[in-house]
Structure 1
Amino acid sequence: MRDSRSFILVFLLGLVSLPARADFHVFACEPEWTALARAFMPDAHFTTATSYLQDPHYIEARPSLIAAMGQADIAVCTGASLEAGWLPMLIQRAGNPKVQPGRPGLFFAADHAQLHAPHDHVDRSMGDVHPEGNPHVHLSPVELPKIAEALAKRLGELRPERSADIFSRYIKWRVDWNQHRAKWRESAEALQGQSVVIQHTSFNYLLRWLGVATTLDLEPKPGLPPSASHLSQLLTDPQLPKAAAILIASHQARKPAEWLTQRTGKPVLVLPGTVTNDGHTDTLTGLISTIVSSLEASVTKVPNGGL
C-alpha cells in the first residue's frame, strides 16, 4: 500500500512538472506571429496557417486549419485586411467562442502599430490596396516592439498564472531586440541613399527605416502580377539605372525579376519575407539581420552617389 501511494505521488508530481504544450493553443495566421508568441510561451502548442513560401493574402480554409482554430485559446493574426479573404470564414466554421471578433482570444497585430500609407478611399481600380495601411509591419524595427508588448500583455491576461513568466520573457526579448536594432542602425549608415526595385510592399517598413528607397515596383498595381508591358516600361524609366538591386520575397515568382536582370545586369535578391525553419531566419531578429546583411553585400556605393 505504501509503495502504491508513493507511486501515485510521484506520478502526480510528474504531471505538474510536465511542460504545458497542450495546455495553451496558439493559432498564428503567419509565421512571424508564431515566432513572436513562442518567445513568450515556448511550451504552448502552435499551429501556423501559412509559410514563407506562401502569399498570406490567399489561403484556403482547410479542414486542418478549421480544427486548429476550433482548439485555439488565441488567434494571432496581422489584421489590416491582410487575411480578409480567408480568416472570417475560418473563424466562422471553427465556431470557437474564444476567438470571435471582439473577444480577447483574437489578436490583430496591426491594431497595436502605426501603419504606413493608409488610404481614406480605396476601390478595385487601385489594385490590392489596404485602407488601413501597409500590413507587413512585422519587419518594422520601430513598430514590432509595440506589438510584442501588447501580445505579451494579452497572453498574460489569458493565462494569469503564467503572466510573470511571460513578462520576464518579454523583457529578455526586448533587450535582445534593442541590441540587434543597434547593429542594424550601424548597417543603415552604409545603405543610406541607396535604392532597389521591389515587387509588392513586403519589405517597405525595413527599407524605409534603413534609408533605402523603393524606386520602382515590378507590380503594375499592388497585388497584380507583373505584366510584359509593365516590365517593358520599367526598362525606359529614368529611375531604373539608380537602383542597385531587384528585391523579391521567396514566395514570389522569379521570372519577372530575372527578365529584368537579364536586361540590366542588376542582381536579384530573393529573401524570405517572414521567418522560416532555417536556423538563420527562424526568429524575427535573425530574419531582419539576414535581410540587412544581404542588402549590404549587394548594394555598393560609388562616387557621387551613383550606381
Structure 2
Amino acid sequence: MKIKLIFAMLALTGSFSAHAALNILACEPEWGALAQELGGDKVKVANATSALQDPHRIEARPSLIARARNADMLVCTGAELEIGWLPILLRDSGNAAIQPGQPGNFEATRYVALLEKPQRLDRADGDVHAAGNPHIQTDPHNIALVADAMSKALETVDAANTAYYQARHDDFMARWRAAIARWETQAAPLKGVVIVAQHQAYPYLENWLGLKQVATLEPKPGVEPSIASLSAVLNKLSITPAKMVVRSAYNDDRASAWLSQRANIPAVVLPFTVGGTPAANTLFGLFDDTINRLLAADKVAK
C-alpha cells in the first residue's frame, strides 16, 4: 500500500509539474511585459529592475540571485547593458538552464541592428558599449523583432505549449502593427523637432520619429552633468536652438530643470520603459505616453 501511495504521489507531482507556469526572470521591465504578452497564463514573470532604476547600475542582491536560481528562462537586453551585475547573478545562481548559450538565456539585442557602434573603446570616453547602443526598446519596430525571436525561444524552452505561444504571438503582432501605424500618424508633427537628451538613451526613438538630437546633458555617457558641461550645452543652444530637453524617469531632474529654465524650453520626462510613468503601465501605454508627452512639449514650445 505504501509503495502504491508513493507512486500515486509521484504521478500527481509530475502532473502538476507538467502544467506549472514557466518561471521567467526579465532583466528590464519592457522584456518582462513582452514575455507576459507572449506567454499569457503559461508564464510567471518577475523583473530584476524597475523603471525608476538605472539598468546599468543594479546590485545582485541575494533575493535577486534566488529568483535567478529558480528561473526557467532569463530575458535580458544584452549588448553589455547589464555587464555590471548580470555576470554575478549568473554565477551565483548556479542555474545551468539560464547560462549563456543555453535555450533559457535570451538577449534581445541579438535580433536588432544596433546604432552608435563606437569607433574606439576607451573607458575615458565613459559608459560606452562595444556592440552599440543597447536602449533598443524605444522603437516599437525593435519590439516586434524581439517578439518574433522571444516567441520562438518560449517554444523551445516549453515545447509542449508551442501552439499556445504561436497563437499569443500572432494576436500580439496584429495589435502591435495596428498600434505602430496609429503612433506614426499621431507623431508625424515631431519629425525634425530638435531636442536635448540627458543620457544617450533615445537614438532609436529619434531614428523612428525623425527627432534631431543636438546635445546631451551628460558630458560622457554615464557621467553626471556638471555646471561646466551644462553651460556648454546652453551655449550650443544659442546657436542651434532646441524645443525641449528630455530625460528618463530614473534620471535625476536637476540637470534638465537647470537647462529648461535658462534655455526657456520644456523639460520632458519620458517613461523610457514600462512603469516609468503611471500611463506607461503596459508596452502599448509606453508608446502612447511617450508620444503624448513629446507632442505636448512641442505644442508648448511653438
% of aligned pairs identical?
A: 39
Task: Encode CA deviations 1:25-48: one digit per residue, 9 max, x unaligned.
Answer: 001000011100000112222221
Residue from 37, 40, 45 that aligns with 1:39: 37
Assess if the C-alpha contact under 8 Å between 1:234 and 1:240 holds in 2: no
Deviation at 1:88, TM superposition (A): 0.5
Runs of 4+ in 1 over 4 A off after TM superposition: 238-241
* Structure 1 residue 267 displacement after superposition: 0.8
Partner of 2:28: 30
C-alpha distance 212-35 of structure 1, shift in aligned 2 (>3 A):
same
3-state SS of 1:79 partner: coil
Alpha-carbon distance change, 51 to 91 in structure 1, aligned in 2, over 3 angstroms: same
**Partner amino acid, structure 2, of 1:68:** R
Q: String of CA shifts for 1:257-284, please: whole Å, max 9, x gaps.
A: 1111121221111121100186631222
Query: Aligned partners of 1:249, 1:19: CA distance in 2, in Å?
Result: 41
Partner of 1:167: 166
> 1:4: which partner in 2?
none
Q: C-alpha root-mean-square deviation of aligned residues, in Å?
A: 2.1
8 Å CA contact 2:126, 2:223 repeated in 1: yes
The alignment of Structure 1 onto Structure 2 pairs a total of residues equal to 289
Aligned position for 1:83: 82
Q: Which residue of 1 aligns with 2:136?
A: 137
Match of 1:270 in 2: 269
Is 1:287 aligned to residue 286 of structure 2? yes
Aligned partners of 2:195 and 2:211 also within 8 Å: yes
Name the SS for the 2:67 alignment partner. Answer: helix
CA contact (8 A) 1:188 1:211 kept: no
1:27-78 residue CA offsets vs partner (Å, 9 max, x unmatched)? 1000011100000112222221100000000000011110110011000000
Which amino acid in the other structure matches residue 274 of structure 1? T
Question: What SS is found at the alignment partner of 1:275?
Answer: coil
* Aligned match of 2:254: 255
Equivalent residue letter for 1:30: E
Aligned positions of 1:105-184 closer than 5 A: 105-184=104-183
Query: Which blocks of at least 5 consecutive residues in structure 2 are unaligned?
Result: 1-7
TM-score, normalised via structure 2 length = 0.90
Is the 8 Å Cα contact of residues 65 and 92 (structure 2) preserved in structure 1?
Answer: yes
Q: What's the TM-score once normalised by structure 1's chain length?
A: 0.89
CA shift for structure 1 position 204: 2.2
Q: Which amino acid aligns with 1:288?
A: F
1:175 maps to amino acid = A
Deviation at 1:301, TM superposition (A): 9.3
Whether the 8 Å CA contact 2:266–2:300 is kept in 1: the answer is: no
2:5 corresponds in structure 1 to none
Rounded to whole Å, the distance in 1 between the matches of 2:298 and 2:253 is 20
Deviation string for 1:128-182 (max 9, x for gaps)?
1111111010111222211110000000111111111111111111111111111
Q: What displacement does 1:247 show? A: 0.5
Query: Tell me, which stretches of 5 or more residues in structure 1 are unaligned?
Result: 1-7
Name 2:296's counterpart in structure 1. 297
Distance 1:240 1:90 in 2: 47
CA distance in 1: counterparts of 2:221 and 2:178, whole angstroms? 34
Aligned in 2, Cα 1:237/1:279: closer, same or farther, shift over 3 Å? Answer: closer
Q: Which amino acid aligns with 1:91?
A: L
SS of aligned partner of 2:218: coil
CA–CA separation in structure 2 for the residues paired with 1:217 and 1:277:
20
**Bigger mean CA offset, 200-209 vs 28-37:** 200-209
Contact residue 237 and residue 263 of structure 2 kept, 8 A = no
Contact 1:218 1:231 in 2 (8 A): yes
Relative distance call for 1:40 and 1:238 in structure 2 (3 A) is closer
Residue identity in the other structure for 1:106: N
Please give the alpha-carbon distance, in whole angstroms, between the structure 2 residues aligned to 1:232 and 1:245.
16
- Give, in angstroms, the shift of residue 79 of structure 1: 0.2
| Counterpart residue type for residue 24 of structure 2 | V
Q: Secondary structure at the match of 1:270?
A: strand
1:239, CA displacement in angstroms? 6.0
Aligned to 1:5: none
